[in-house]
Amino acid sequence: MSQAVKILHADRIPTTGCLVVPGRVAFHELLHLEQLFAGRTITWLIEEETTLDAPIEAFLAKSGSGAVFSADDADPATAGLQLRESIDDGGVLIFVHGRSVARASTPCHIPGPVLTTLGKFGLPTLPLAVEYPRESTLSIEHDANLPGAIISVGQPIAADRVSAARIQESLFTAAEEAFSQRPLLGSSLGTALLNGLKRHTRTKIRDGADDSSLGFDRLLAAALVFSRYIREETDNPRVGIILPPGKAGMVANLAVIFAGKVPVNLNFTASHEAIRSAMRQAKLDRFITADPFVRKVPSFPWPPNRDLIFVERVLPKLKKKIITWAILSRLLPAGVIRTLFRIGKQRGDDEAVLLFTSGSSGEPKGVPLSHRNVLGNVCQFATRLQAPSSSKILGCLPLFHSFGCTVTLWYPVIEGLDLVTYPNPLDTKRLGELIQKHGVTFLLATPTFLRGYMRRVKPEQLKSLELVVTGAEKLPRNLAESFEERFGLAPQEGYGLTETSPATNVNLPSPTGGEGETVVPSSRPGSVGHLLPGIAVRLTNPATDEPCPLDQQGIIWLKGANIFPGYLDDPKKSAQVLDGDGWFRTGDVGRVDADGFLYIEGRISRFSKIGGEMVPHETVEAAVNKALGLDSEAERKIAIVGVPDEKKGEAIILLSTVAGRALEQECIDLRYKLMDAGLPSLWCPRAILPVSEIPVLASGKLDLKGCQELAEAES
């Protein structure tokens, strides 16, 4: 294996003196840093509480001058003036890390207080991201040709602009540039799935709907044979799939990919209007489904029978071929199978899957994800998670749900994790039984679904779980605490969007460190966790769209291999969220703390601009819940909506299922309670609108469009 170090963007290194801040560094990289700055005076900078590895300590003792600083220094600017002489005449001051332990591919191992002090020295600063590619390889990857490390030089920061937040931002961007060099990103999802099924033949998918199981060897054979049938049925590049999680849904998706086509898993819980819109936008002429599911969802706007491919009718007819290929697929190398079935012709930036947004704020938008996007996100999620091969994942999120697609379809197949499926994420009683029966270790859910576990599942049924990750909506603190108290396991909050393939952030249990090691935490309540490997972040001011530091509230922009290329046939909407340089405007508002944790503080569509001030709806909702003593573990009972107002631009309306008859007095009483709790008067609801229920989507997300229509109709 090559242990070479690859240097990216060496042209960014200034000829003038600077403070060099590597996000992390090992002994071998010290030698390369010395070579990188050869011919210049080097001073090694160490925090006084740091514990160094013996080889690094010996290296520094031999290599010249050093300087020490304290993270507790009350006057870092003065310390910076004293250090400035080290960078006179083009000298470099290189910060050296102590011993640390962190999850794979964490770009910054510098504790928040230390980073803050470095940012206050007032010295021109050059961040360096150090990536170790072998830390973040999938089981199917061949890492023989990967460099031992990639040192990616970040954008230099001028002395009058330097801060911890700007050092972080430069490190994240440099780390993204290093991750984007991976050969995996130019390959094919079909090839990756084929290699995963071939490599992990003993892994199984267990279908909780009928208590059957299917080994990956048989799954491969069925998908290969079915793929040829699909090729014969349609010349269309996309194929619709209307199936819940289970064996049939897995076989259908694999077969469509192996056929060189794009699977489009349709949201059967959406409105007829939204479903027909998705069908029309995707230009579908064939749909894979099953008779029992057609009978179960009779209200779905089913296409004509001639356009439907019934999986349970087709596969029995192909049984002999499937048996033949079950044998052949074991004997033949993956490369031969790939050639015979023409798998992997589409790759890299070609479209791999097509998803549709939930439509929470309007008509669903088509989100094509490329092979690069999907493989990048599987790699980002899998390598940060580092789940052992014995792990078992519960797959109950719908396949049209972006997390359900990436994390419970592609991820377990590629990495070889046993998958336990069930078609209904709301049937938590049955899900609890399946978790206990199969020893499931990893549960992916939404806070809405967690409430079902709280009500219907016994603690002993979830004893096998080692990790619970929630997404799609904010995880209320008291729900997380109640879940941990009942089941002995704290749910970890993550974040992602359909447009980001979808995972971008996740909290995970922090590693444990040995004596003298600094532990880089990987979980912080209230946040959505660290960025996954290879994702960069920047923020812009919600009112002015000007760039703002990461530690100030702003609209979140993300960049990485997982960012989609643009909305389906909609360049206008694409231009509204993509800047042409790969940055994606999420529409969410948040900030990043000194330890790299991202906090989501609202969605820009969930802010009202009142009298020139941005009012966050979710913050007001939390205050109202507290003032009214509502239990956030229960079903949603209130929602804040902004409506047009002639005087102040917008007004705040409270939708409530608990409102009484004396609405005016209730609103006055609530205003006083909120103001007593410290909420500005401007943020208080102007009126209460009683409703029978708060509109929500199947995923548990608030139906913003439905709420807005209710509020505007009444107001």
Residue 323 has pLDDT above 50, yes or no: yes
**Gap between the Cα atoms of 244 and 689, Å rounded:** 36
Quick one: pLDDT band at residue 715, thresholds 50, 70, 90?
low
What is the third-level CATH fold of 611-714? GMP Synthetase; Chain A, domain 3 (3.30.300)
Instruction: Tell me phi and psi for residue 28, to 5 degrees.
Output: -60, -35
Cβ(655)–Cβ(471) below 8 Å: no
Residues 6 or more apart from 112 whose CB is under 8 A from it? 164, 593, 594, 595
Question: What are the residue ranges of helices labelled H in 148-306?
Answer: 164-179, 189-199, 216-233, 247-258, 272-282, 291-296
| Predicted local confidence at residue 29, as pLDDT | 76
Rg for the chain (alpha carbons), in Å? 27
| Predicted local confidence at residue 557, as pLDDT | 97
**Gap between the Cα atoms of 422 and 163, Å rounded:** 49
Residue 632 has pLDDT above 60, yes or no: no
Cβ(413)–Cβ(196) below 8 Å: yes
> What average pLDDT does this structure show over 464-490?
91
* pLDDT above 70: percentage of residues in the chain: 95
Joined tokens for residue 311: 């999986």
What is the third-level CATH fold of 189-519? Rossmann fold (3.40.50)
Diameter of the chain by CA atoms? 81
Quick one: pLDDT band at residue 692, thresholds 50, 70, 90?
confident
Quick one: pLDDT band at residue 360, thresholds 50, 70, 90?
low
Quick one: pLDDT band at residue 1, thresholds 50, 70, 90?
very low
Residue 435 has pLDDT above 70, yes or no: yes
Inter-CA distances, 206 with 200, 250, 387, 429, Å: 15, 11, 19, 18
Same fold, 530-602 and 611-714: no
Cβ(67)–Cβ(47) below 8 Å: no
Q: For residue range 557-598, what is the model confidence (pLDDT) as tens digits?
A: 999 999 999 999 999 999 999 998 999 999 899 999 999 999
Beta bridge partners of 128: 22, 153
**Gap between the Cα atoms of 186 and 372, Å rounded:** 6
Q: For residue range 18-29, what is the model confidence (pLDDT) as tens digits?
A: 999 999 887 777
Peptide bond preceding 680 in cis form (omega within 30 of 0) = no
> What average pLDDT does this structure show over 495-504?
94
Estimate to the nearest angstrom the gap between the alpha carbon of 40 and the chain centroid. Answer: 42
What is the third-level CATH fold of 530-602? Luciferase; domain 3 (2.30.38)
Q: For residue range 264-277, what is the model confidence (pLDDT) as tens digits?
A: 999 998 888 889 99
Q: For residue range 211-246, what is the model confidence (pLDDT) as tens digits?
A: 999 999 999 999 999 999 999 999 999 999 999 999
| Predicted local confidence at residue 2, as pLDDT | 42
| Predicted local confidence at residue 508, as pLDDT | 96
> What average pLDDT does this structure show over 101-120?
93
**Residue 395: what residue type?**
G
Cβ(471)–Cβ(446) below 8 Å: yes
Q: Say which residue, 98 or 186, is predicted with more confidence.
A: 186
| Predicted local confidence at residue 3, as pLDDT | 62
Q: Say which residue, 684 or 462, is predicted with more confidence.
A: 462
Residue 361 has pLDDT above 60, yes or no: no
| Predicted local confidence at residue 601, as pLDDT | 84
Average pLDDT across the chain, whole number: 90
The sign one gets for the Cα dihedral 189, 191, 194, 200 is: negative
| Predicted local confidence at residue 698, as pLDDT | 66
| Predicted local confidence at residue 513, as pLDDT | 82
Question: What are the residue ranges of helices labelled H in 476-530?
Answer: 477-487
Q: For residue range 28-43, what is the model confidence (pLDDT) as tens digits?
A: 778 788 888 988 999 9
Residue 516 has pLDDT above 80, yes or no: no
> What average pLDDT does this structure show over 606-625?
77
**Residue 337: how many other CB atoms lie within 10 Å:** 21
Lowest mean pLDDT: which of 119-128, 173-182, 233-242, 704-713? 704-713
In the chain, domain spans: 5-157, 189-519, 530-602, 611-714
| Predicted local confidence at residue 403, as pLDDT | 87
